[in-house]
Every structure is written in C-alpha cells, then in structure tokens.
Amino acid sequence: MPHDVTMPQLGMAQDAGKIVSWLKAPGDAVVKGDLLFEVETDKATMEVEAQASGFLTCVVADAGDDVPVGAVIARISNSAEEEKPAPAGDARPADDLPEGHSVTMPQLGMAQDSGVLVSWQKAPGDAVAAGDMLFEVETDKSTMEVEAGRDGYLAATLAEAGEEVPVGEPVAIISAEAPANPVARSVASAPPAPTARPEAEAEPEPDTRPEPAKPAQRASGGRILASPKARRLALEQGLDLAKLVEAGHPQPYHVRDLETLRALPAATPASEVATATTRMLTAEIGTDGLAAFADWAAEAHGLTDADALLAGLAGASLSPPCIVAVERFGQARHFAVPAGRALSAVGETEDAPDLILRDLRGTAIRSLAVGAEASPVLTLMTGGTGLSVTLECGPAQLDAQTAITLLSDFAGRVEQPLRHLL
C-alpha cells in the first residue's frame, strides 16, 4: 500500500519546515530507514528517514520550499510509475473561522499519524500566554501537555476532548485581539476540506489512506496502539491487548477499553500455544562494538549509563518513540526512547515496555528458546568471537517483515554503534 511522506514536526512550536535537499530522486527505490530528505526548522537541521519501502514518487515540494507540518510532500509507492500527488498546502480548513495563528496537532514521533485530544486547559475566549498549557494530547506512546506557543486569545477550539486528530490538522486558533464570538466545535462538525481533484478527471484517484484496523491487524510498524496508562494497567492485571485487536475493536486503546477486554471469552492459555505461535530469529555479530562505544560515550559526552545506551540503540530499531526495558542479572529498568538519535535524551520511566532487551553477556548462556512474552524480547549473548542476538515474539506483536527489520537493525547497531549517530 502506498505511504504518504509528510513534513514532520521536530519541535512543539514548529508550524513548517524548509526542505534543504532531497537525498533520493523521483523513481528511486527506497528501503525503510533510508535517508529521504533533509529538513530545516528555526531550531535544527535533520535528515528524515523513509518510513516504508518502495519507490519515491509524487514529489510536490522542492529544495528551498517551506512546507506546513503534516502536509504531504511525496509518496512511497509500490512501483516507480508517477501517481497523482496530493498538494503540499496548508491543512487549515477553508471555512469562516476567526483570524489568527493556527495551532496544529503536534507530531511527537516520526511514525505518529494522529493524536487524541485528552482535555483543554483553556476555554474559548480566554487570554493565553505563549508558555501557557493549552491542551493535553495522547499518542500511542505518551501523554503530553502542549503550550500555546504565543500570546493572545483562544479564539477557536476545533476539536473536543476524546477526539482523534491527524498530525498537522488545526485544533485551535489564537488571535491577537479578544474574539467577539469565540468558536468551539468538534472535528466531526467541521466542514469538509475542499477537494483538489479536477472535475474533468475521468478516473477516480485510488484511495491510499490506511484501512481501519481489522482482526489481527497491527498499526505503526506492527505494534498495538494503546495509551501508556492502558499498557501499564494491562501488564499489571495480566491482560493481553492483542485480544482486542483479534476481536476487531478499533485502536488506539485506552483505560476504558480494558473493561471490554475483561469481558472477552477466555482463550487457550498462552503456555499451550507458545511453541506454535512464537517467532524466533537469531543474528550472529562478528564484532562487539558496545564496549568501545560505551567508553567513547562516557569520555566524550558523559553518558555513563550502559543500560540507557542499550535502550537507545534497541529503541532506534523499533521506530521510536517507544519504551524499552533492559533486563540484566534479574533487574529490569524501563527507558523512554524519543524520536531522533540523541542518546542523551533517553530517560527512565515506569511505563510498560514495547520491547524487552535481555543482556546475558557475561553469563554462560549461549542459546535459548523461552517463548513469546507480553512484549517482543531481544536477547544479547556472547557467541563465538563476537555476539549473538535472538528475537522472540508472537505474531500478534510483530509481523514477519517487521521482526526481520528490527533484528537486522539492532544487530547492525550493536556491531557498529556509531552509525546510530550518523
């Protein structure tokens, strides 16, 4: 299925980004993880990776163009043949709204497509300062308060609490003057956006939007989408969120969905089907680059937490932001791995993990087959002259291609950790 390439949001106050250069040309084959283009904001310049494999088509923004956050700038298609592109324009609805600055749904991770507006911290008509908390948003990985970004008045709220809003779509308008008639409406009540399709077009454009979740289907790189609190409670109560997917309940999941999960019929115990359903992959690494990398990170950057470094390398292989648990000698620590490549930004958390990394280096264990657990498990062991890495997961956690990519990426980072920073 074709994948739309959008302008990412690299900062909470970012409205647009400038394309510095394209690192792939239209028609080029790309692999997920390839560097696709370079983008510049007022704070940083960053290379953006491809989020899917295929061929680069429909490039509608050139080097030097300023593009709104969330706007489609290209497409990764199944073939190199050019398809009709979506225009790289402002996502703001074209209806009669108060004049002012549009506050959009932020992109808190490169793989994030939307966010759930949890609550408003200000009411329509209120005066706001740039640093005031405007609303709270929840993604599959975190819940965060979003600042207003500028002084003024909250002239319009364009989504209600509990509604899901695509990244880059407006959720509020901040005006310079106090509004005479503040607007408060829901996403559902918004007028439809004008279509860019010519009336004379003979054939309808194929719908390239992701299909709604179906039983046994996974979103965002094969992972189940759920709020951090729902994940934590499910883990504490021994509940399997995959059962909601299999039953056809739409994602993302929240705490209220746990009641639905408890009411589902009991399935065959996992212990009886673990052998038949576990995916197990192993990679051999000729050179252990972790020790030298840890010494360099400590000396050059003061990063002395070996567990945090491992979590950062593993999380980068799982399309961050994500939560990685590092287990060593019976102890487990959980780390939040943000989007990007800054290992210094990896920090401890109490959220349930999306990935478990067991470090068995220094033990006599050379092979294992434990079976699937609540999250995919990477096990790092000494093997021959180098290291070996084993990935165990259930089909409900990662599909085959995602599992292969995860293991390959992590094995490469263990062998050459510095490539993570390039």
295-322 in b/e form (b: 16+ CB < 10 A) is eebeeeeebebbbbbbbbbbbbbbbbbb
Q: What is the radius of gyration, based on Cα positions, of the chain?
A: 23
- Residue 225 and residue 219: Cα distance in Å, rounded? 7
Cβ contacts of residue 53 below 8 Å, gap of 6+? 30, 31, 32, 76
- Residue 78 and residue 294: Cα distance in Å, rounded? 40
The full set of domain ranges for the chain reads 3-77, 101-184, 228-267, 275-421
CATH of 3-77, one of 3.40.50.11540, 2.40.50.100, 3.40.50.720, 3.40.1440.10: 2.40.50.100
- And the tokens for 275? 């052998």
CATH of 101-184, one of 2.40.50.100, 3.30.70.60, 3.30.465.10, 3.40.50.1000: 2.40.50.100
192-228 in b/e form (b: 16+ CB < 10 A) is eeeeeeeeeeeeeeeeeeeeebeeeebbbbbbbbbbb
Q: Position 383: which residue type?
A: G
**CATH, range 275-421:** 3.30.559.10
- Residue 215 and residue 12: Cα distance in Å, rounded? 34
pLDDT in tens, the chain (422 residues): 677 788 776 655 567 788 989 999 888 999 888 888 888 876 667 788 888 888 888 888 888 888 887 778 888 888 877 555 444 444 444 457 888 888 888 766 555 667 888 889 999 999 999 888 898 888 765 677 888 888 999 999 999 988 888 877 888 899 999 998 899 888 877 765 544 344 334 444 454 444 443 333 444 445 577 666 777 788 778 888 888 888 888 877 778 888 888 888 765 554 444 444 688 999 998 888 888 888 988 998 899 998 999 999 999 888 888 999 999 877 899 999 998 778 888 999 988 999 999 999 888 888 888 877 888 999 999 877 789 999 999 888 888 888 899 999 999 988 888 876 65
Fold identical between 3-77 and 101-184?
Answer: yes
In angstroms, the Cα distances linking 294 to 97, 120, 307, 409 are 54, 43, 10, 19
